[in-house]
A and B are shown apart, each in its own frame.
Chain A
Amino acid sequence: MIELTETNAAGIAAAFVRSRTQAGSPAMGMVMTLVIVVDEDAAHDALRAARLAAREHPARVLAVILGDARGRARVNAQVAIGDDWTGENAMIRLHGEVVKHPESVVLPLLLPDSPVTVWWPTDAPSDPAADPLGALAQRRITDAAAATKSKTKALQTQCASYTKGNTDLAWTRITPWRALLAAALDQQPLKVRRASVTGERISPSADLLAAWLNDRLRVPVDRRNSAGPGITEVVLDTAEGPIRIARTDGRLASFSSPDRPDRPVALRRRDLPDLLAEELRHLDEDDVYQATAKRLLKREQKA
Chain B
Amino acid sequence: MVLFGVTGDLSRKKVMPAIYDLANRGLLPAGFSLVGFARRDWADEDFAQIVHDSVRQHSRTEFREEVWRQLAEGFRFVPGDFDDDAAFGNLRRTIEELDESRGTQGNHAFYLAIPPTFFGAVAAQLKEHGLARPEPGQWRRVVVEKPFGHDLASARALNDILGEVFESGSIFRIDHYLGKETVQNILAMRFANNLFEPVWNGNYVDHVQITMAEDVGIGGRAGYYDGVGAARDVIQNHLMQLMALVAMEEPTSFDAESLRVEKLKVLASVVLPKRLDLHTARGQYTAGWAGGEQVIGFCEEEGIGKTSATETYAAVKLGIDTRRWAGVPFYLRTGKRLGRRVTEVAIVFKKAPHQPFSATSTEELGNNAIVIRVQPDEGMTIRFGSKVPGTAMEIRDVNMDFAYGSSFTEASPEAYERLILDVLLGDPPLFPRHEEVELSWQILDPILDHWAKKGRPDAYPSGGWGPTSADAMLARDGRVWRRP
Residues in A lying within 8 Å of B, measured CB to CB: 7-10, 13-14, 17, 20-21, 26-31, 56, 73, 75, 94, 97-98, 101, 104-105, 107-115, 278, 281-285
Please tell me if B156 contacts chain A, counting CB pairs below 8 Å.
Answer: no
How distant is the Cα of A13 from the Cα of B292 in the complex, in angstroms? Answer: 12
B444-484 Cβ-contact flags toward A at 8 Å (1 or 0): 00000000000000000001100000000000000000111
How distant is the Cα of A255 from the Cα of B250 in the complex, in angstroms? Answer: 69
**A29 x B406 contact (CB < 8 A):** no
**B364 x A283 contact (CB < 8 A):** yes
Number of B residues with CB within 8 Å of any CB on chain A: 45
Give the interface segment out of B76-84, B196-204, B397-405. Answer: B397-405
Please tell me if B363 contacts chain A, counting CB pairs below 8 Å.
Answer: yes
**B341 x A10 contact (CB < 8 A):** yes
Please tell me if B7 contacts chain A, counting CB pairs below 8 Å.
Answer: no
**A13 x B399 contact (CB < 8 A):** no
| Contact of A281 (CB < 8 Å), options: B288, B294, B394 | B394
A28 to chain B, nearest CB (A): 5
| Contact of A27 (CB < 8 Å), options: B366, B371, B389, B402 | B402
| Contact of A108 (CB < 8 Å), options: B215, B377, B399 | B215
Q: Which residue of B lies closest to A28 (CB)?
A: B401
Residues in B lying within 8 Å of A, measured CB to CB: 215, 288-294, 339-342, 344, 360, 363-364, 366, 369, 371, 376-377, 379, 381, 383, 388-390, 392, 394, 396-403, 405-407, 463-464, 482-484
> Within 8 Å CB of B366, what residues of A?
113
A82 to chain B, nearest CB (A): 16
How distant is the Cα of A284 from the Cα of B377 in the complex, in angstroms? Answer: 31
> Within 8 Å CB of A10, what residues of B?
215, 291, 340-341
> Within 8 Å CB of A28, what residues of B?
399, 401, 403
Q: Which residue of B lies closest to A104 (CB)?
A: B289
A226 to chain B, nearest CB (A): 31
**B364 x A104 contact (CB < 8 A):** no
How distant is the Cα of A8 from the Cα of B340 in the complex, in angstroms? Answer: 11
How distant is the Cα of A253 from the Cα of B241 in the complex, in angstroms? Answer: 67
| Contact of B390 (CB < 8 Å), options: A20, A97, A108, A281 | A281
> Within 8 Å CB of A27, what residues of B?
379, 401-403, 407
> Within 8 Å CB of A285, what residues of B?
363
A297 to chain B, nearest CB (A): 25
**A104 x B401 contact (CB < 8 A):** no
**A115 x B364 contact (CB < 8 A):** yes
B85 to chain A, nearest CB (A): 48
**B392 x A108 contact (CB < 8 A):** no
How distant is the Cα of A104 from the Cα of B390 in the complex, in angstroms? Answer: 34
- Given A31-B398, A98-B292; 11 other pairs, CB 8 A cutoff: A9-B340, A27-B379, A29-B398, A101-B288, A101-B289, A104-B291, A110-B483, A112-B344, A115-B397, A278-B390, A281-B390
**B292 x A9 contact (CB < 8 A):** yes
Can you list 14 A-B pairs, Cβ within 8 angstroms, ordered by A? A8-B292, A27-B402, A28-B399, A73-B293, A75-B292, A97-B294, A98-B294, A104-B289, A107-B463, A108-B340, A112-B381, A113-B369, A283-B396, A285-B363
